[in-house]
């Protein structure tokens, strides 16, 4: 038996959920930019109460590890680590793009298609990876600047579904007829917990003391220009 708390704060959608043996028990979601700092703890309290979960009943915390929003990832991971330290329970981390791919797959029936989950990295850059229909990795996570030739090799031989918020701007650049777009998919804790439970069964845990979010790119602080 495993009761797991899931936290997702990689994008503008912040969410928390409780799963029992991989089955969703309670969820709470906030679709408001920069809401993680003020609302994540509130959402945790909400799902704990809704599911009648006492802290000692938790067996693990699973968190979206990135890539994604620098601030959102810091808040989510710091919160997850704090709970794991306090309760002496394992920490599980899932690549945010894997959550997007899993959610997008629910809308795809072509088992020969490739899936390319995408998160917006500003301007014409995205965080992305490529997986097959069974979510096996074809191309690893990377930051990629989009142009008309992006993913041309894959598109020549496969239907490719571009999934997630990054796919919206991808659609204006990649016009190959084999390109399909599911840009309304956002990572959610309700699906994160399902992936987390599989990691729980494998005992695939992170070192709570040393784990850091997968930022993929360095955070840059720009100095204001002189007026």
Same domain, 77 and 154: no
- Closest among 118, 140, 127 to 217, alpha carbons compared: 127
pLDDT of residue 42: 93
Q: Which residues contact 40 (CB under 8 A, 6 or more apart)?
A: 7, 9, 14, 16, 75, 76, 79
pLDDT of residue 122: 83
pTM, 2 dp = 0.91
Q: What is 204-222 written as a DSSP string?
A: --B-TTT-----SS---PP
Spatial separation of the C-alpha atoms in residues 23 and 114, rounded to whole Å:
27
Q: Which residues of 45-81 are buried (b: 16+ CB within 10 A; e: fewer)?
A: ebbbeebebeeeebbbbbbbbbbbbbebbbbbbebbb
Predicted confidence (pLDDT) per residue in 184-220, tens digit: 999 999 999 999 999 999 999 999 999 999 987 654 4
Residue 216 within any structural domain of the chain:
no
Spatial separation of the C-alpha atoms in residues 55 and 74, rounded to whole Å:
22
Same domain, 91 and 8: yes
pLDDT of residue 221: 42
CATH number for 167? 3.30.420
pLDDT at 38 over 90: no
Residue 103 within any structural domain of the chain:
no
Do the Cβ atoms of 135 and 105 come closer than 8 Å? yes
Same domain, 81 and 13: yes
- Closest among 98, 209, 70, 213 to 163, alpha carbons compared: 98
Same domain, 33 and 90: yes
Residue 101 within any structural domain of the chain:
no
pLDDT of residue 220: 43
Q: How close are the terminal C-alpha atoms of the chain, in Å? A: 61
pLDDT of residue 51: 97
| Domain hosting residue 167, numbered range | 108-182
Residue 214 within any structural domain of the chain:
no
Predicted confidence (pLDDT) per residue in 105-150, tens digit: 999 999 999 999 999 998 889 999 999 999 999 999 999 999 999 9
148: its two tokens: 């008309």
């Amino acid at each position: 038996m495993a009761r797991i708390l899931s936290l997702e704060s990689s994008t503008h959608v912040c969410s928390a959920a409780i799963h029992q043996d991989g089955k969703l028990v309670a969820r709470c979601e906030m679709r408001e930019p920069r809401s993680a700092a003020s609302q994540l703890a509130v959402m945790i309290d909400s799902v704990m109460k809704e599911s009648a979960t006492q802290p000692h009943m938790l067996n693990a915390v699973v968190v979206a590890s990135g890539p994604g929003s620098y601030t959102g990832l810091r808040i989510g991971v710091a919160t997850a680590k704090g709970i794991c330290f306090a309760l002496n329970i394992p920490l599980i981390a899932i690549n945010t793009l894997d959550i997007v791919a899993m959610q997008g797959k629910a809308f795809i029936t072509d088992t020969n298609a490739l899936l390319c989950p995408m998160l917006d990295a500003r301007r014409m850059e995205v965080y992305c990876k490529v997986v097959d229909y069974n979510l096996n990795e074809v191309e690893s996570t990377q930051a990629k600047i989009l142009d008309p030739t992006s993913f041309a090799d894959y598109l020549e031989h496969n239907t490719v579904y571009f999934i997630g918020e990054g796919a919206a701007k991808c659609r204006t650049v990649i016009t190959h007829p084999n390109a399909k777009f599911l840009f309304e998919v956002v990572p959610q804790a309700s699906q994160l917990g399902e992936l987390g439970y599989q990691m729980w069964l494998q005992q695939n845990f992170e070192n709570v003391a040393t784990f850091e979010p997968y930022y993929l790119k360095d955070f840059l602080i720009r100095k204001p220009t002189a007026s």
